[in-house]
Amino acid sequence: MKKYIYLTSTPEALVASMLPPEGFGMYLSTGTKKRNRGQNIFFEVDLDQIGNIFDMESLEKRCVAKEDGSPKSSVYLSVYRVLEMVPTSALKSLYLTTDHGCVLELKKAPYDSKRESVNTLHLYQELCPVTPLVVSDMTPSAFLKKLTDGSIPITLPKLFFVELKLGELAANPLGGSAEHLPYPNIGHMRDCLEILRGEYEKHMKTVQRVFSGTLLYRTIESGFYVGSKDEIVFYPYPTIKDLEDINYEFFRDI
């Protein structure tokens, strides 16, 4: 049976499995007996590119079919600081799962920083290795670079994050309509956004320190980003209308 390597964002871990991405996603979300549920986000990793980084010897011994011939669901290979060790080029497709185990594949796409909207505010949910919800006046590429290039005291080796919708607040933090924005404590978010427009120079502001664990898939703005400094990998997220055609089960479940 073919073996797959996955990088999960929560917990940050490298996992081997004999399940293909759809099966693995369902397993992560609902368990073997489908008695638990929870959303998950993970990458498929190119085994060939990480063989010399992680100890792969145990993979052959541990990731074997069960006695009844059914595939092994998961073998944890590494936890903690995994993202920074996996080369960005080794990341294949990104997979999102719903509570009920529906899986959506997002493929890499070239990132064109020239098309970024520069004069608006942004909302970023960091997913790995840290998980605050942050507002910023920086574009995704600038945000990534700022947090990973060592130019500020708080720095990360690599970052995986997603841009979320801000609606009218992106241009008008205090007066814009927050209709249909599902975030708790909108007043606090307005304040945070307004600080970015304040007199003293501040480009990022934490709105919420810890990720709730549930990403509302309908609020994703542009897509997911992962990388370090000038190296950026982009996973564009389809519009809701396109999503209905691309993956109907997933669409119905979000």
Partner 1 sequence: MISSLFWIVPVAALTALLFAWIFYRNMKAQEEGTDRMIEIATYVREGAMAYLRRQYGVVTKVFLILVVLLLILAYFGIQNPFVPVAFLTGGFFSGLCGYLGMRTATYASNRTAWAASKSLNQGLKVALRSGAVMGLVVVGFGLLDIALWFLILNGWVFTPEHMAAGWKFAGLTFVHPGTTEHEKLIEITAVMLTFGMGASTQALFARVGGGIFTKAADVGADLVGKVEAGIPEDDPRNPATIADNVGDNVGDVAGMGADLYESYAGSILATAALGAALPGVTGDLQIKSVIAPMLVSAIGIFLSIAGIYLVRTKESATPKALLHALLLGTGGSSLLILVVLAIMAAADWITWGVFGATVSGLLAGVIIGQSTEYYTSDGNKPTQAIAKQAQQGPATVIIEGMAVGMASTWIPVVTIVIGIIAAYGFSGGFQNFAMGVYGIGFAAVGMLSTLGITLATDAFGPIADNAGGNAEMSELPKEVRERTDALDGLGNTTAATGKGFAIGSAALTALALIAAYMEEVRLWLGRVIDKAPEGFKQIGDTLFYKSVIPQVQDGQVAVHIGSATIRDFTSAYDITLLNPIVLGGIFIGAMMAFLFSSMSMKAVGRAAGNMVEEVRRQFREIPGIMDGSGKPDYARCVAISTAGAQREMIIPSLMAIAVPLLIGVLFGVAGVVGLLAGGLSAGFVLACMLNNAGGAWDNAKKFIERGNYGGKNSEAHKASVVGDTVGDPFKDTSGPALNILIKLMSMVSVVLAGLTVAWSMLG
Binding positions for partner 1, 200-229, rule CB under 8 A: 214, 216-219
* Residue 66 found at the interface with partner 1 (CB under 8 A): no
* Residue 99 found at the interface with partner 1 (CB under 8 A): yes
* Residue 248 found at the interface with partner 1 (CB under 8 A): yes
1 within 8 A of 60, measured Cβ to Cβ: no
Cβ neighbours, 10 Å, residue 108? 16
Cβ at position 53, least distance to partner 1 in Å? 35
* Residue 70 found at the interface with partner 1 (CB under 8 A): no
Binding positions for partner 1, 163-182, rule CB under 8 A: 179-182
Nearer to partner 1, 43 or 251 (CB): 251
* Residue 107 found at the interface with partner 1 (CB under 8 A): no
User: Would you state the torsion angle of the CA atoms of residues 230, 120, 221, 202, taken in this order, to the nearest 10 degrees?
Assistant: 60
Total residues found in the chain within this entry: 254
Q: Taking every pair of C-alpha atoms in the chain, what is the biggest distance, in angstroms?
A: 67
Q: What is the C-alpha separation between 94 and 200, in angstroms, rounded?
A: 38
Give the one residue of 8, 9, 17, 39 binding partner 1; rule: CB under 8 A.
Answer: 39
44 within 8 A of 97, measured Cβ to Cβ: no
Given the structure tokens 């564009």, which residue do they identify? 236
- Binding positions for partner 1, rule: CB under 8 A: 30, 32-37, 39, 99-100, 179-182, 184, 214, 216-219, 240, 248, 253-254
